[in-house]
Each structure stands twice: as structure tokens, then as C-alpha cells.
Structure 1
Amino acid sequence: MSLKATSVRLDDETLARVGQMAEAMNRPRAWLMAEAIKQYVAREEWFIHEVEKGVIAADEGRLIDHKDIKAKWEAKRAAQMD
């Protein structure tokens, strides 16, 4: 895998926070920013994929009534409180 350089503009406070985190992790700032971007992109790709699956399910009529979902989550919450 080849790496390409890019630039990111950050406000002073955010850049300082990135620097503090990188120092605490004993990593370069560039590594921390690259890792953050990788995680963000992966999370957003997952979200887009899940939304697309939901749209397809809705188009096919595979929907669950709100009261059924609510009952499921209330039962789950009650079980956690026990």
C-alpha cells in the first residue's frame, strides 16, 4: 500500500488536542489523523450501506410496525434492569 500526503486545515484548539492525544499515545500526529479518518470513513460507509439495505427492505414491503419495535426495546430494557 502506498501512502499519499494531503493537507488538513484545523483550528488551533483541535490541532492542539490532536497533538496531545498523539503524544499520549506515543504516535505521530499524522498517524493519529490518518487513523481517525480511516475510522470515520469505515463508519460512514457502514451507515450508508445499512440505509441502502433499509430502503430496499422498505421498497419490498419488509417493514416492522412501530409498536412491535417499541415493545421489543421495552422488553430488552426491562431485562437489563433485572
Structure 2
Amino acid sequence: MALKATSVRLDEETLSRIGEMADAIDRPRAWLMAQAIKQYVEREDGFIQDVQKGIEAADAGRLRNHEDVKAKWEARRANQMD
């Protein structure tokens, strides 16, 4: 069930850019803003859930050595640069 949202206040530049984007994809400005908010909420909700999992893992004593994690990420970054 879709509920009607309250109004959102945006500065003129952002509102203008949203209008240009909406025109470029032939969609209403309200549709584009709704999609942007939906994507933001999904992304942030996923982040919050991941943080909660990390907290629960730490509380349970499931921790990783900092140097091991650092080495893993440095290796991954080096492989991306090849």
C-alpha cells in the first residue's frame, strides 16, 4: 500500500537538476525523487543491518586480527590495480 508522503524541501539547484534528470528519462519529477529515496532507504537499511551483525559478532567474541584484515584488503587493492 502506497502512502502519500509529506513534502520535502530542496534547494533550487537540486530541484532543477532533478527536473533535468526526469526530463532526460521521460519520467515525472516525483517518480524520480521517490526512486531516489527508495534506493537510499534500502542502502542505509542494509548498512545498519551489517553494522548490527558486526556488533553481534563482536559481542560473541567472533573477532578478526587487524593485521590479517589489513593484509587481505591490501592484496585485493593490489589485484585491482593490475
Task: Assess same fold via TM > 0.5.
Answer: yes
Moved more, 6-15 or 51-60: 6-15
Q: Secondary structure at the match of 1:19?
A: helix
Quote the residue 2:48 is aligned against.
48
Quote the residue 1:25 is aligned against.
25
> Percent identity at matched positions?
71
1:75/1:10 CA distance change after superposition, 3 Å: same
Alignment size in residue pairs = 82
Quick check: 1:57 aligned with 2:57? yes
Alpha-carbon RMSD: 1.3
**TM-score (norm: length of structure 2):** 0.90
Quick check: 1:66 aligned with 2:76? no
Moved more, 70-79 or 44-53: 70-79
**TM-score (norm: length of structure 1):** 0.90
1:65/1:16 CA distance change after superposition, 3 Å: same
Unaligned runs of 5+ in 1: none
TM-aligned CA deviation for residue 63 of structure 1: 0.6
Write the deviation string for residues 56-80 of structure 1: whole angstroms up to 9, x where unpaired.
Answer: 0000111111100111112222333
Q: Distance in 2 between matches of 1:2 and 1:78?
A: 46
